[in-house]
Structure 1
Amino acid sequence: MCDMCSPKQVVAITSCKGCLKDMCRRHFNDHREKLFKDLQNVFDLHDNLLQELQLTTNRASKSSDSNNALALFKQIDEWKAKTIERVSQAANEARANVERLFSRKAEYDQLKKKVDEITKELKDQQESESFVETDIDHWMKQLKQLKADLNRPSKVDTDPPVLQVQNIDWNTIIKISSSYNEHGKHTNLAQNQLEKGMLYLLSIKYP
């Protein structure tokens, strides 16, 4: 009997495998019509979701043009310029240290000054003819010592300086974080990493 006609006793001609009800022809036709309307509702929801997804995707693809994104791009460019400037400055300081360490100009200037003093003394004594054996021995000793000083290897030759470069973690030196990430922080740039990561040290060690 038709479950939809109850309590009337109407012969059922078929049954629905979805709702498991027995139906007469009239109720079966009504039931199928309702199912078609329900299916149309599914299509409508499907089309609406697809359209909304497309709009959202289009907006997301243009998110780089938003004011917030442009502000972040500007900060990144500023950080990049500052980093390049700091690296260049550190490299120049290291070069200056190398030049200072390997230069013996001050040492040679001091030797030249001592030689000039001996030269003047020799000429004065030669003109006055007042020198004796002890003077000659003294001058010879001084000149030999100055020659030894001139030929003595520098400290950088016997114990070369070593370049020490602090490693930089490029994966963390700059990053973008937001309020919905695991740390719960607002968007920021790791500017403070710049000075920590850009340390170039040149040192010389002597025993």
Structure 2
Amino acid sequence: MASVTSKTPCVTCGKGAGLFKCEGCTQIYCTKHVTEHRQTLHHQLDEIIVEHDSLQEKIIENKDQSNPLTKYIDEWEQRSIMKIQQMAKETRQEIVQLSNIHKRTLSKELNLLTERIKNAREEDDFFETDLINWISTLSRLKDELMM
């Protein structure tokens, strides 16, 4: 007895015997429609390539553009630098004012000492203890001036 082999028809036209089985979609196609199926696959591949190229171009463009976070950080940095510079300026001014006050105070003390020394010399009224006190006062004023 001879066996009957059943033929699977083309999935597209349903006619004739399908000669080619697509490994991707596992469908059976006739000679005419296997070519159309391959053209469809090529068209889909072309669309994927266009999408790929578009994405790649956007990535390259974004490399050239600044990130908004980077811009924010740059602005924050500038604001911080300006605040620090302003604080440094104000602190310098305050130090100059305090230094001037301190120098005036030292100058007053030195003037008082000058008067005492001048009077002591004119009146020939001083002893070793006076000299030691005056040297000590001069030394202290000198040290305070260096601060």
TM-score normalised according to structure 2 size: 0.57
Determine the structure 2 residue equivalent to 1:110.
Answer: 112
- The answer to whether 1:89 aligns with 2:93 is yes
Cα shift at 1:76: 6.3
Deviations, residues 14-69 of structure 1 (Å, cap 9, x unaligned): 211111122221221121111111112112222333344444444x25x8xx9x99
Going from structure 1 to structure 2, the CA distance change for 1:43 and 1:13 (only over 3 Å counts) comes to same
Match of 1:36 in 2: 42
Residues 108 and 150, structure 1, Cα contact 8 Å, conserved in 2: no
Partner amino acid for 1:154? R
Q: Match of 1:4?
A: 11
Q: 1:120-156 CA distances to partner (integer Å, 9 max, x unpaired)?
A: 556xxxxxxxxxxxxxxxx4xx533321212225288
Q: Is the 8 A contact 2:17 2:30 kept in 1?
A: yes
Amino acid at match of 2:36: D
Aligned to 1:26: 32
What CA RMSD, in Å, does the superposition of the two structures yield over aligned residues?
4.4
Q: For residues 70 and 112 of structure 1, do their structure 2 counterparts lie closer, same or farther at Cα, with a shift above 3 Å needed?
A: closer
Find the aligned partners of 1:81 and 1:107 in 2 and give their Cα distance: 36
8 A contact 1:11–1:24 mirrored in 2: yes
Percent identity, aligned pairs only, is 15
| 8 Å CA contact retained: 1:111, 1:146 | no
Residues in 2 aligned to 1:48 and 1:119: alpha-carbon distance in whole angstroms: 98
Q: Which has the higher helix share?
A: 2
Aligned pair in 2 of structure 1 residues 84, 23: CA closer, same or farther (>3 Å)? same
Q: TM-score, normalised by structure 1?
A: 0.44
SS of residue in 2 equivalent to 1:17: coil
- 1:93 Cα shift? 5.7
Match of 2:140 in 1: 154
Higher RCO (CA < 8 A, seq sep 6+): 1
Structure 2 gap ranges (5+)? 1-7
Q: Where in structure 2 are the equivalents of 1:160-171 lying within 5 Å?
A: none
Cα distance change, pair 41–16 in 1 and its aligned pair in 2 (3 A): same
Q: 1:10 to 1:71 in 2, by over 3 A?
A: same
> Secondary structure at the residue paired with 2:127?
helix
